[in-house]
Amino acid sequence: MSTNVAIIVAGGEGTRFGCEGGKQLAVVAGMSVLGHTVAAFEKCAAINEIVVVVHPLRVAEYSAVIDRIDAKKVVTVVPGGETRLDSVASGLEVCASHADIIVIHDGARPLVTPALIEEAIRSLVEDPSADGVVVGHPLYDTVKSVDGSGYVVCTEDRERLWVVQTPQVFRAAVLRDAYEKAILARSSGTDDASIVEQAGGRIGLVLGPRDNLKVTVPEDLIIIERLLARRVVHL
């Protein structure tokens, strides 16, 4: 039976959010955004351990949030770095050496469910040809490429495009190797899968719900509050 460890990344400053403490500490539906996120992983039977990476100046605040939800699977809370690459690398440093699968998730995606986490892990386990699996959904809007002056260059073929979210699930050895190479080269990517792709990894996709939203601006909390309330009604 594999050992599955989750790294929840909550190390950003949340400058676009405009709230002291950042978006992960904002309260929605009676709990912080990070609290909802960690709680989903705590309830997921497929997750054995959780590592939380936070802003280096707010370790105590974030630790208090986790203490309030009594998350027994959280083994440590560590300070992140200047970039997401550095923050995930910090999480990998303390991640159990015996981990078989590592799941990376944005701390600001509080609508993730235990079922979605399990589905992503199962998809990777059942596909020996994949080094990782990411959750996402096909792009439904028209997308246009523009030049530096703001004029349309072309319309992209949306049939081949997906919007990618987290969780993103990887074979531990592959992920560690990819991050070692990225750190040495100081390369960057917009998500963790891109780091693995740059190292030659093969990534699969799992269809996820469109409501697996990431909190970016204060208005997002209104939508997330309503979605969480709707879930409670349907329980």
DSSP sequence for 121-180: HHHHHT-TT-SEEEEEEE--S--EEE-TTS-EEEE--GGG-EEEEEEEEEEHHHHHHHHH
Q: Tens digits of per-residue pLDDT, 96-131?
A: 999 999 999 999 999 999 999 999 999 999 999 999
Residue 89 in this model has a pLDDT that exceeds 90: yes
Find the mean pLDDT for residues 163-177: 98
The mean pLDDT value of the chain amounts to 92
Find the mean pLDDT for residues 42-57: 96
Residue 232 in this model has a pLDDT that exceeds 80: no
Question: Pick the residue with more confidence: 126 or 16?
Answer: 126
Total domains, the chain? 1
pLDDT band at 187 (very low <50, low <70, confident <90, very high): confident
Find the mean pLDDT for residues 28-50: 95
Q: For the ranges 11-15, 212-216, 218-222, which has the lowest average pLDDT?
A: 11-15
pLDDT in the model for residue 234: 47
pLDDT band at 235 (very low <50, low <70, confident <90, very high): very low
Long-range CB contact pairs, 71-75, < 8 A, 24+? 71/38, 71/39, 71/42, 72/42, 73/41, 73/42, 73/47, 73/48, 73/49, 74/38, 74/42, 74/49, 74/50, 75/49, 75/50, 75/51
pLDDT in the model for residue 229: 82
Residue 147 in this model has a pLDDT that exceeds 90: yes
Q: Tens digits of per-residue pLDDT, 50-88?
A: 999 999 989 999 999 899 999 999 999 999 998 999 999
SS3 call for 117: helix
pLDDT in the model for residue 20: 60
Question: What pTM was estimated for this model as a whole?
Answer: 0.94
Q: For the chain, first and last CA: distance in Å?
A: 31
pLDDT in the model for residue 122: 98
pLDDT in the model for residue 189: 86
> Amino acid identity of 2?
S
Do 53 and 15 form a contact (C-beta atoms < 8 A)? no
- Looking up residue 164, the CATH number of its domain turns out to be 3.90.550.10
Q: Which of 180, 213, 179 is nearest to 195 (CA)?
A: 179
Find the mean pLDDT for residues 155-171: 96
Domain range enclosing 70 = 4-234
pLDDT in the model for residue 223: 94
Distance of CA 222 to the CA centre of its chain: 21
pLDDT in the model for residue 22: 72
